[in-house]
Chains A and B, each alone.
Chain A
Amino acid sequence: MTLGTLDRELLVVVGAGGVGKTTLAAALGLQSARAGADTLVMTFDPSLRLKDALGVAETAKERPAVVKAGTRGRLEVALLDARTTFDRLIRRYAPDTEAADRIFGNRFYRDLAGNLAGILEYMAVERLFEVQSERKYDRIILDTPPTRQALDFLGAPDRIVNFLASGAVRLALKPWWEQGGGLKRLPMRLAAKGAEGIADRIIGIRLLGDIMEFFRAFGPLYDGFRQRAEEVRTLLRSPETLFLLVSGPGADRIPDTLFFARKLKEAGHRVGPIVVNQVHPQVRGRGAPGSGELAIGMELFRYLGERDSQGIGRLQGLLSRSEPLLTVPLQAAPPTDLAELEALGRIILDQLDG
């Protein structure tokens, strides 16, 4: 068995929160390993049940854990953790341990850097690049962190690079530290002075001190960060990378799903089949008679089946022929072992072959 159109080196599973991305990523990972490829699944926050099913413990934050699935290819799972990755990154790229310790000891880094908007996404991309360049796997499946809008994932690395490394931030903080630092034109100086006053009054001088020190300590790492962000951007646009967009059923999900598919393409990414997950079955026969619990319940399921089928129909109508749609029925319960996970993955593969 092959993975058909999913036969790429890097699969990026994207979609809004709560649509079952993580479980599908694991299910595809299992199929990939069964097909003989050494596969790494990178994920953020799998449920306890899924971790149990895979036999993966918290130690997978430090190094990938091997899943004992008896597959032809190796299957490993890495748990992504922003702080662990950030720390490791600093240790690796700091010129010496002293510089690394300066960052670790910085208040801004300790209290706030782990909470920077988009840090999870940025670290996912960092870690991906790190693993990818080691070339230890035939295939990597990246499960992206839950975001309100699936698109946030792609924008986050840029936002964080802008914030962390932007010359603008450093320039703006300059007036405090180097009196009269190089700003010649009067309006500029006025603006800088204004900004200085504002920032002092609003942010407070101690935090500013911490931020400034952080950026100073961070300075030597800056070029590496910048360069890697660029390389990751290239990687995500490579022909060997495919985005798998997962959506919930129901008409209210359609605008988000379409929007994201278009945005991915505009940005030069390759988008694979769109997977509509958790689809209720259609109820065709007559419902139960009467107005008891049973009749009401069956009516609810009739409605849900109809809602999902209409949503899928409308989505299909809006997609072109070259944009295939896969549907995965709502599972009776989340997979609790490898056999159930395998069955889930097969639902997707069967549709690819057919």
Chain B
Amino acid sequence: MKLLSALAERQLVVVTGKGGVGKTTLAAAIGRLLAAGGRRTLLLEIDPRESLHQLLGTEPSGGRILTAGDRLAAQNLQPKVVMEGLVREKVPIGALAKKIVASQVFQHFVEGAPGVKEMAVLGYALRMVEGAYRHKAEVVVLDAPATGHGASMLAAPLMLADAIAGGQLGDMAKELAAFIADPQRCGVVLATLAEEMPVQEAIELVALLRERMGRPPELVIANALYPPFPREAPSRGGAEQAEILGLWRQRRAVNERELKRLRGSWKGPLVELPLLPLDRGPALLAALEIELGGQLQ
């Protein structure tokens, strides 16, 4: 698989998937691999409860862009902040912009209106790689928020482009929908666990990307797999060992069954990553980076 160099040519790599599948860690590992390969990379985290910095060993971003290694920067970005920036940019009168941003309408709009937050984040990423900001990045790796369904980030521009004709939001939606749909510019990495519900959602998301956007993901990662059950498991040993072995065998069987189901509807690249005996932190990130890098070369 020469997937890594293919991903490195993208301007945006969206790492998506259900909550609790290790998305942030995988996004960080991909970001580090791209940076190590020579690309100026920005890791973007959206979750307001920051955790990316714990993996990278930096201080919390608090909205700022922090250096996290050679050619690697990281930022925790709040959609609301992007929206506020947008208003300030469009409204030349400072006092008026302030009033709008502080208004209830604006707050409710950002919080409740469908697709607005997603658009703000994607728009920020696009402008970043186009060089609109002081910080320069060639590729943005986005740790997409785990909403009810992982698709909402990717589907938002298309949904809004369908619904809105004209206006800057409509134009922006069209532009972003085209950006997301262009496999030369945007890559999608789908993270999952080899368990029933995450695999079900992964299959649905693959279908949605294919049918609605005409583009499959670049890569599916099945994370945190129990190791293959040894062919020659001991028959001796106490009750405790028997219990552990039984659990191991059956959890691995669930993993294998679900991987098979996933492969039934996803024929593209699939990376399998092991469950590792490491706490969430820099050591885990380093181990996953090596494992992922090895499989993607």
Name A residues whose Cβ lies closer than 8 Å to a Cβ of B. 16-19, 45, 47-49, 107-108, 111-113, 115-118, 120, 145-149, 159-160, 162-164, 166, 168-169, 171-172, 190-191, 194-195, 198, 200-207, 210, 248, 251-252, 256, 280-281, 283-285, 288, 292-294, 296-304, 307, 330, 332-334
Contact = CB atoms under 8 A, between A and B. Distances in A.
A336 B253 CA distance: 14
Contacts of B197: 18, 45, 47
B241 A202 contact: no
A297 B240 CA distance: 14
B111 interface: yes
Interface in B104-140: 104-105, 108-109, 111-115, 117
Contact of A203 (B114, B167, B230, B275): B167
Given A168-B104, A330-B247, A248 B20 contact: yes
Contact of A111 (B109, B159, B226, B276): B159
B228 A293 contact: yes
B233 interface: yes
A300 to B, nearest CB: 5
Interface residues of B, number: 71
Given A111-B162, A205-B167, A206-B165, A163 B19 contact: no
Interface of B: 18-21, 47, 49, 86-87, 90-91, 93, 96, 99-100, 103-105, 108-109, 111-115, 117, 145-148, 152, 159, 162-170, 193, 196-198, 200, 226-230, 232-234, 238, 240-241, 243-244, 246-248, 250-251, 253-254, 275-280
A117 B114 contact: yes
Nearest to B165: A206
Given A148-B146, A285-B241, A162 B112 contact: yes
B254 A333 contact: yes
B277 A16 contact: no
Given A18-B18, A194-B99, A112 B165 contact: no
A112 B114 contact: yes
Nearest to A114: B114
Contact of B145 (A148, A251, A288): A148
A111 B163 contact: yes
9 contacts: A16-B19, A112-B115, A113-B114, A172-B105, A202-B90, A288-B241, A300-B226, A330-B247, A332-B247
B18 A194 contact: no
Contact of B115 (A115, A164, A298): A115
Given A148-B47, A194-B100, A301-B244, A115 B152 contact: yes
A204 B230 contact: no
Given A111-B162, A300-B277, A18 B21 contact: yes
A47 B159 contact: no
